[in-house]
Amino acid sequence: MNVIYVDNNATTKVAPEVLEEMLPYFNEYYGNPSSMHTFGGMVEHKIVESRERLAKLLGASPEEIIFTSCGTESDSTAIRAAILSNPRKKHIVTSRVEHPAVKNLYEYLSKNGYRATFVPVDRKGRLDLDYLYKNLDEDTAIVSIMWANNESGVIFPIEEIGRVLKEKGIVFHTDAVQAVGKIPIDLKNTAVDMLSISGHKLHGPKGVGALYVRKGTKYSPFLIGGHQEKGRRGGTENVASIIGLGKASELAAANLSDESIKVKPLRDKLEAELLNRIPNSMVNGDRDHRLPNTTSIAFEYVEGEAILLMMDEFGICASSGSACTSGSLEPSHVLRAMGVPFTAAHGSIRFSLSVYNTEEEIDVIIEKLPPIIERLRELSPFWKKAQ
């Protein structure tokens, strides 16, 4: 069966160019970059190059990049670094729609001596900036706000928040895992102190991430050990994957315009056709400030897991904000924070595209999904009543 993969916010295909560049570093050039010999030194050169490539994508300097094992490690490192270097400050701020990598750490910290503020969003998933600014005080150690939301695709005004926080002298971290490679990011002109990246969201491999730490930001390592990453992250480098992330960054920088030229029109077509063909369907989130590849569509009176499994029969891979897919009983915290009604939240499906999607694939989804929704609605005791 052909797979139609529209779940790129979950993970992406490793680009062929990325894989090709990684492969020799498993069993041909397997030296340790810390070694004194030329054989290890060759690997070290390649890591330097990867750091430069990623820095270029972000508009940062190479020495501001620390390679990590994943987005979650980057988030944890950043937030813990901020609170460890400001030990007297006990207030931490984030949004109500963060990824669990930030959300659950904040919840943990709030049970361990910290006061956490979770900034709400409106019905369209836009951040309540007044609420954010009103809740800052002398005690605030860090603000962590994601650049773009993984479920709705809504982009937050990171540049503006950065300006305000810089004035107040509060450390600002952003989880940019979903944004990097999809929208332009220029850290030279954005007042962000720390920024998290994950390799596998931009056609790099899994198991590698990076943390940008602006020069001059107080920092303390999360993994304490060897001198790797200038002592900012101990542990032998995941060489092949770092090289993969470097190559993926180079490709992302070169092809960034594809996101708006190729991906966005496909997303827009998919969205428009589904809304058009399926009654009682609506987009979750602010359509004007959104990642070019993401759409979250709510189909009322049906349940998301059932939709996903029926799409799976056709090889269509998407994801759902429904409770049933995650093993929890409530719909996603993002959709709930947005106040999406239960009738719609349980039946919300997220499609996230990539440059590898074709128009033919989108046409298949447009053809296959309406009858699935119709069938499930026929099964549902609520559908007829709602008519």
Partner 1 sequence: MWEYTKTVKDHFLNPRNVGVIDDADGVGEVGSLACGDALTLYFKLDENKKIKDAKFQTFGCASAIASSSALTEMIKGLSLEDAEKITNDKIAEFLGGLPKQKMHCSVLGRDALEKAIANYRGQAEKKVEGNIVCECFGVTDLEIKRAVRENSLNSIEDVTNYVKAGGGCESCHEKIQKIIDESLGLEMPAKKKVIRLTNIQKIKLIEETLEREIKPALKKDGGDIDLVDVDGNNVLVKLQGTCATCSASQITLKHYVESKLRELVAPELLVEEVH
Q: Would you tell me which residues interact with partner 1 (CB under 8 A)?
A: 301-306, 309-310, 313, 322-325, 327-331, 342-343, 346, 378-382
| Minimum distance of partner 1 from residue 381's CB (angstroms) | 4
| Minimum distance of partner 1 from residue 308's CB (angstroms) | 9
| Minimum distance of partner 1 from residue 338's CB (angstroms) | 16
Q: For 301, left (φ over 0), alpha (ψ -120 to 50), or beta?
A: left
| Minimum distance of partner 1 from residue 372's CB (angstroms) | 11
Q: Inter-axis angle of helices 304-312 and 359-379, to 10 degrees?
A: 130
Cα-based distances in Å from 2 to 238, 309, 361:
32, 15, 10
Of these residues, 324, 333, 356, 374, which one is catalytic? Answer: 324
Give the whole-angstrom CA distance, residue 143 versus residue 196.
Answer: 14
Smaller CB separation from partner 1, 160 or 378:
378
Token pair belonging to 74: 């980057």
Give the whole-angstrom CA distance, residue 199 versus residue 15.
Answer: 11
- Is 331 within 8 Å of 346 (Cβ atoms)? yes
| Minimum distance of partner 1 from residue 303's CB (angstroms) | 5
Cβ atoms < 10 Å from Cβ of 282: 14
| Minimum distance of partner 1 from residue 52's CB (angstroms) | 39
Active-site residue flag, 70: no
Token pair belonging to 156: 């937050």
Smaller CB separation from partner 1, 9 or 322:
322
Residue carrying structure tokens 């009322």: 300
Smaller CB separation from partner 1, 125 or 331:
331
Q: How many CA atoms lie within 13 A of 81 on its CB side?
A: 27
For residue 234, list its beta bridge partners: none
Smaller CB separation from partner 1, 156 or 301:
301
Smaller CB separation from partner 1, 105 or 187:
105
| Minimum distance of partner 1 from residue 361's CB (angstroms) | 21
- Is 293 within 8 Å of 267 (Cβ atoms)? yes
Active-site residues: which are they? Answer: 324
